[in-house]
Chains A and B, each alone.
Chain A
Amino acid sequence: MNHSTQSILKASISEQRRIETDQDALLVQKIQAGQLDCFDQLVKKYKERLYAIVYNLCANKEDAAEISQDALIKAFRMIQSFKGKSSFFTWLYKIAVNTTYNALRKNRFKRFFSLENFTINEENPIIDELSSKKQADKAILLSELQEKLNESLQKLSTKHRTVVVLFEIEGLSHAEIAQITGTSEGTVRSRLHYAKQELQKYLKDYLQ
């Protein structure tokens, strides 16, 4: 992918985000005016992304379901206080991240892995390479890789893990992550750099 294609892609993503933000603002206004069923539309739109963030932070699917539901309920209760200073999704992600932090801090949840199944729906060099293997081998390899990957992510501190999850997995920008985590963009960059270095160390057997 050359530079111009990348910049076009970035521009289209930011345009899409802007449209989404406007739509969200409209829905939030309706909810604040009393049309509570509009919240369902927001849930439909964000439930998967929200669940993915929480799941990648805690690496346990049962806990992730409970925490993301709690986060959505919190957002529902607090939506009257949403002033629109930031976009709705950063506000919602912030609630989700803080709810996860609280749950992990209280150690309320189980500290063992309970991982989701792989749904292979996009191109990835690892999957491409594994495609030559037998189906059984492929499944074993993938599950081994998944476990190692989650183990490495859990070795990071929550702050570093959050930045990796939001940037590398969820594809948010530094500015958006800074808003969600309540830090500066510089801090986000440095945390990301450090976290990647640590992950490289943990996963060095799998990387070249």
Chain B
Amino acid sequence: MAIIKNHNTQENKIKLEDLLRLKKMEKPDESFWNHFEIELKQKRLRTLLKKEPLPLRWAKSIYKRLIIITPISLLATFTFICALNNLRPLENPMKQGKEIINAKTLPFTFSQKTLLSSDRNYTQTDLSIPNRSYIHYSLGSIPSTRAQPLTF
């Protein structure tokens, strides 16, 4: 190693690019390529002759079909759901014996655990509306037809 180092300090500049270009000169000889090509041909032949295992072939054929079928069936399902939603007759909640109540006038009952402190910090709030399973949020006099479950 010392020989090259000394050599370098005495002589002209050597750049990194020159060193890397040396790598281009690392080449195998002709006999290597003959051997390489023979081996490659054998491997190729084996690839051509080798049958894929049955489960893999099935999986491939199913996959190919799924690629075509999946988007179509998804689109069809989506269209069907959309159509179903739009064509459903309007439900009249009054017929079902459900009461329309205004969200603003909901009766709030707090459990005994509820603490209402002076600085308005609420803890363990238990809000329940007995006997009413749905609330219709209504604007003006036209009640909304879409019943929504009350969730908090």
Q: A: which residues have CB within 8 A of B?
A: 36, 39, 43, 47-48, 51-52, 55-56, 61, 65, 69, 72-73, 76-77, 115-122, 124-127, 129-130, 137, 140-142, 144-146, 148-149, 153, 164-165, 168-169, 196, 199-200, 203, 205-208
Residue pair A208, B8 in contact (C-beta under 8 Å):
yes
- Convert B1-23 into 0s and 1s, putting 1 for each residue whose CB lies closer than 8 angstroms to a CB of A: 10111011101111111111111
Describe A's contact surface by its main secondary structure. helix
Residue pair B3, A137 in contact (C-beta under 8 Å):
yes
Residue pair A118, B18 in contact (C-beta under 8 Å):
no
- Of B11, B14, B24, B43, the contact of A169 (CB 8 Å cutoff): B24
- Of B14, B20, B33, the contact of A208 (CB 8 Å cutoff): B14
Residue pair A129, B11 in contact (C-beta under 8 Å):
yes
Residue pair B16, A169 in contact (C-beta under 8 Å):
no
Shortest A141–chain B CB gap in Å is: 5
Q: Known contacts A124-B21, A126-B18, A141-B4; is A65 also within 8 Å of B27 by CB?
A: no
* Interface residue B119 (Cβ < 8 Å from any Cβ of A): no
Residue pair A119, B27 in contact (C-beta under 8 Å):
yes
A-B contact count (CB 8 A): 120
Residue pair B14, A76 in contact (C-beta under 8 Å):
no
Residues in A with CB closer than 8 Å to B1 are: 144, 148, 205
How distant is the Cα of A155 from the Cα of B39 in the complex, in angstroms?
31
Chain B, Cβ-Cβ closest to A56: B23
Residue pair B12, A125 in contact (C-beta under 8 Å):
yes
How distant is the Cα of A129 from the Cα of B13 in the complex, in angstroms?
10
Residue pair A118, B25 in contact (C-beta under 8 Å):
yes
Residue pair B19, A207 in contact (C-beta under 8 Å):
yes
Q: How large is the interface on B (under 10, 10 to 19, 20 to 34, 35 or more residues)?
A: 35 or more
17 of the cross-chain contacts (CB-CB < 8 Å) are: A43-B40, A52-B24, A56-B23, A76-B44, A76-B47, A77-B47, A116-B26, A118-B26, A122-B25, A141-B3, A144-B3, A153-B23, A168-B20, A205-B1, A206-B14, A207-B15, A208-B9
- Of B15, B17, B26, B29, the contact of A55 (CB 8 Å cutoff): B26
- Of A69, A130, A168, A199, the contact of B39 (CB 8 Å cutoff): A69
Shortest B29–chain A CB gap in Å is: 7
Shortest B18–chain A CB gap in Å is: 5
Shortest A2–chain B CB gap in Å is: 18
How distant is the Cα of A39 from the Cα of B40 in the complex, in angstroms?
12
